[in-house]
Chain A
């Protein structure tokens, strides 16, 4: 890796001697080397006037000068970039601004309209822990070779665990690395609305919808789990998918469920999602939570006691969004009081944010499982040996035992006065069926998702 800044500084020093002062300050001020890639030097220029002129008039000089300093150079390319810090002097705003209220435009700047990416989501601020390292590694592989390594890339996991950050991070990195690739981020909801709109305007527009999406090189669709009931959207997505896949263009999806558990998802889409890479993002463990908190604190430029940070990390479990929320409360207090916050204060502040450990209400679980099997809740408690009810009842017992660690006698008692041996039998039966019955396994997984 060469130091492009140093290289360009040397080159400019050399070029300055060869051209007139006026020419130098007009054409070479505000330029930089963007990057060096396999011997090709990319020079960033402020606009097309400069690009054309450097290309036509000074190309030889530039090439020669760079070659003097950097002998493995093969070619020089010019591209237009936004160069910071060249804005003209800030003029005094007129008086009106003091008294006039502004339109609330400020918050609307961030999101890039062309690709919908939020520049805030970068990998610099992405914390990698064991809970998401697989997803992260896959994302990096995709950035290295979009469309070639894992296509499609499907990330799933619970809410607030950084899925959106991850997939937008892919978008932002790809955009940075390959400026000519067209990246587009969209939520499924927007995709569907777009499709509906295109129908409204007849054939012509329907085609432009297809064209619109197919021109991108990287398509990122967020929250795909809502696709279940949208048949036409599924069809359109299917075709879009095929076009992307055939042309080796990368597609990224995120969802809160594994594709197999998205209700109403057509099999042809399911199998296509599975063709690439499906990874989950789980909840961060203690160390990761600690790391996340520390990065956030650094962003805000605030120091909290190690003890306090550890307390927050240990008491707020699961969701990263909640973790951030609690931290924001504390930071707000910190700024208000203008002094470090003690552990005790933190404890009182977070009292409301900490979820009490869920007590298990057996009735609720029965209800969820009964719903899942399309049965009445009361039927589970009935003394009947109808096959479908027996199965559901056994699953209830199994789950209560496995996941909630409730004693056999208590389970029996709650489920209509069964003997504890009945419960043991049910438990064992399901346990052994799992080994052979794949559909049962997937049923159990789906049920477990419902508990979250």
Chain B
């Protein structure tokens, strides 16, 4: 193998694929990146058997070939080379030689024969703008369960409804739902994207602007954009029919400025106990909206906020962290909090933005 290519492009691609190389796996070859030089392109491939990524960049190939190099070494090398000109890669006797204007680096290669292929997904497909996909996922994924005990909720659930693609996550204490309108949507009956693979999707497609092509079937999903191909396994399971727990009515409603709430929550953070408990008191008649938290070692705080209130008095406790998590996902200056009495979830949504809904269960006192 011998080739010449743009340094920046190669560096970025290595940075992208290196993150998915397998760590702590029984198969050592998975910690490497596979470089395939053929035709007019250089392909970089990495997989940990849950996610697979392939990035193709243009290159001047003098001699075709395939090699596998340790991902972490390669990315370390590239993050410490400073130059902007083209770079030359050349294979010689199980080594790869990286030549820049000022340096010459020799790296050991791994036997590439054991490097697995990554699945090409066949099935239904749809197109989606990358910002919409990333926005949808980003708006909800922090709510999914981290542990693997229930794989079906350790995921982001994606399905189509009327003219939107709906993203949902829950860890059974809170739930986030985001609807993203898409033109010419196809019927998606439900895809469970594993939570662990979500950061990769955001990282790889977060910087891309353009239409992505998504292929999916009940075992696997792939997302492609020009030279980038991403594939992830899909969880085989059934997401709970969460619509049934969405409260249909409420006894108390508060409209409040997002910025006010954010500052109050950050203040409460200092005084919260190990359960992150935050007390919320709403008394519509007296126009009281009060947030308080206390910690036996640090002290306590009480903050009242200006809010438009209707309904009955209510006094509940929440995990402030759950509160804080959702605020960045609401594209609206003011929030609406809809509450019921104890044991029923609180519903948070933007006043001018109905695409996002968030549920939090109160704490036991």
Binding site for B on A (CB under 8 A): 22-23, 25-26, 47-53, 56-57, 80-82, 87-88, 90-91, 93, 95-97, 99-105, 108-109, 111-114, 201, 208, 212
CA separation between A90 and B362, bound complex, in Å? 26
Chain B residues touching A, majority SS:
loop
Instruction: Beyond the given A99-B275, A109-B240, A111-B238, please list 19 additional residue pairs across the A-B interface where CB-CB is below 8 A.
Output: A22-B28, A26-B27, A47-B50, A47-B219, A48-B220, A49-B47, A49-B233, A53-B116, A53-B117, A90-B149, A93-B149, A100-B275, A101-B361, A103-B170, A103-B242, A103-B359, A105-B172, A105-B242, A113-B238
CA separation between A318 and B276, bound complex, in Å? 56
Choose among B114, B149, B276, B345 the residue that contacts A103 (Cβ–Cβ < 8 A): B345
- Indicate whether A108 sits within 8 Å of B244 (C-beta atoms), given known contacts A47-B219, A49-B118, A101-B362: yes
Residues of B within 8 A of A112 (CB): 238
Residues of A within 8 A of B238 (CB): 109, 111-113
Residues of B within 8 A of A23 (CB): 27, 114
- Indicate whether A97 sits within 8 Å of B220 (C-beta atoms), given known contacts A49-B119, A56-B117, A103-B359: no
- Indicate whether A113 sits within 8 Å of B241 (C-beta atoms), given known contacts A87-B151, A99-B363: yes
B117/A114 in contact, CB under 8 A: no
Contact digits for B94-126, partner A, Cβ 8 Å, 1 yes 0 no: 000000000000000000001011110100000
Choose among B119, B148, B162, B241 the residue that contacts A87 (Cβ–Cβ < 8 A): B148
Q: Min CB distance, A428 to chain B, in Å?
A: 59
B219/A80 in contact, CB under 8 A: yes
Q: Which of B114, B151, B190 counts the most chain A CB atoms within 10 A?
A: B114
Is B84 part of the binding interface, using a Cβ–Cβ cutoff of 8 Å?
no
Residues of B within 8 A of A99 (CB): 275, 277, 363-364
Choose among A26, A81, A93 the residue that contacts B49 (Cβ–Cβ < 8 A): A26
Q: Which of A49, A80, A99, A112 counts the most chain B CB atoms within 10 A?
A: A49
Is B25 part of the binding interface, using a Cβ–Cβ cutoff of 8 Å?
yes
Is B187 part of the binding interface, using a Cβ–Cβ cutoff of 8 Å?
yes
Q: Which of B147, B175, B239, B363 counts the most chain A CB atoms within 10 A?
A: B147
B119/A52 in contact, CB under 8 A: yes
B187/A208 in contact, CB under 8 A: yes
List 28 contacting pairs A-B, 8 Å CB cutoff, sorted by A. A22-B27, A22-B28, A47-B49, A47-B233, A48-B220, A48-B233, A49-B47, A50-B49, A52-B116, A52-B117, A80-B219, A82-B237, A87-B149, A90-B148, A95-B275, A96-B173, A97-B173, A100-B275, A100-B364, A101-B362, A102-B361, A103-B175, A103-B242, A105-B240, A105-B245, A113-B241, A114-B189, A114-B190
Residues of B within 8 A of A87 (CB): 148-149, 151
CA separation between A263 and B50, bound complex, in Å? 55
CA separation between A88 and B149, bound complex, in Å? 8
CA separation between A88 and B153, bound complex, in Å? 15
B240/A48 in contact, CB under 8 A: no
Q: Min CB distance, A137 to chain B, in Å?
A: 32
Is B350 part of the binding interface, using a Cβ–Cβ cutoff of 8 Å?
no
Is B319 part of the binding interface, using a Cβ–Cβ cutoff of 8 Å?
yes
Q: Min CB distance, B133 to chain A, in Å?
A: 21
Residues of B within 8 A of A95 (CB): 274-275
Interface size on B, as a range, is 35 or more
Contact digits for B5-39, partner A, Cβ 8 Å, 1 yes 0 no: 00000000000000000000111101000000000
Is B80 part of the binding interface, using a Cβ–Cβ cutoff of 8 Å?
no
CA separation between A50 and B118, bound complex, in Å? 9
Minimal Cβ-Cβ distance residue in A for B237: A82
CA separation between A97 and B319, bound complex, in Å? 11
Residues of B within 8 A of A88 (CB): 148
CA separation between A26 and B152, bound complex, in Å? 23
Binding site for A on B (CB under 8 A): 25-28, 30, 47, 49-50, 52, 114, 116-119, 121, 147-149, 151-153, 162, 170, 172-175, 187, 189-190, 219-220, 231, 233, 236-242, 244-245, 274-277, 319, 343, 345, 359, 361-364
Q: Min CB distance, A147 to chain B, in Å?
A: 23
Choose among A26, A90, A103, A104 the residue that contacts B147 (Cβ–Cβ < 8 A): A90
Residues of A within 8 A of B153 (CB): 105
Residues of A within 8 A of B149 (CB): 87, 90-91, 93
CA separation between A95 and B118, bound complex, in Å? 39
B245/A51 in contact, CB under 8 A: no
Q: Min CB distance, B98 to chain A, in Å?
A: 28
Q: Min CB distance, A182 to chain B, in Å?
A: 11
Residues of A within 8 A of B117 (CB): 52-53, 56
Residues of A within 8 A of B233 (CB): 47-49
A100/B361 in contact, CB under 8 A: yes
B26/A26 in contact, CB under 8 A: yes
B240/A108 in contact, CB under 8 A: yes
A-B interface, 5 closest residue pairs, ranked by CB to CB distance from nearest: A48-B119, A108-B240, A26-B27, A105-B240, A47-B233
- Indicate whether A108 sits within 8 Å of B242 (C-beta atoms), given known contacts A22-B28, A93-B147: yes
Residues of A within 8 A of B121 (CB): 48
B26/A22 in contact, CB under 8 A: yes
B187/A212 in contact, CB under 8 A: yes
B239/A101 in contact, CB under 8 A: no
CA separation between A47 and B114, bound complex, in Å? 18
Q: Min CB distance, B26 to chain A, in Å?
A: 5
Q: Min CB distance, B18 to chain A, in Å?
A: 19
Residues of A within 8 A of B231 (CB): 48
CA separation between A87 and B245, bound complex, in Å? 28
Q: Which of A104, A201, A212 counts the most chain B CB atoms within 10 A?
A: A104
Residues of B within 8 A of A104 (CB): 245
CA separation between A113 and B244, bound complex, in Å? 13
Q: Min CB distance, A235 to chain B, in Å?
A: 23
Q: Which of A50, A87, A103, A112 counts the most chain B CB atoms within 10 A?
A: A103
Q: Min CB distance, A97 to chain B, in Å?
A: 7
Q: Min CB distance, B52 to chain A, in Å?
A: 7
Q: Min CB distance, B147 to chain A, in Å?
A: 5
CA separation between A53 and B343, bound complex, in Å? 49
Minimal Cβ-Cβ distance residue in B for A97: B173
A82/B114 in contact, CB under 8 A: no
CA separation between A57 and B162, bound complex, in Å? 43
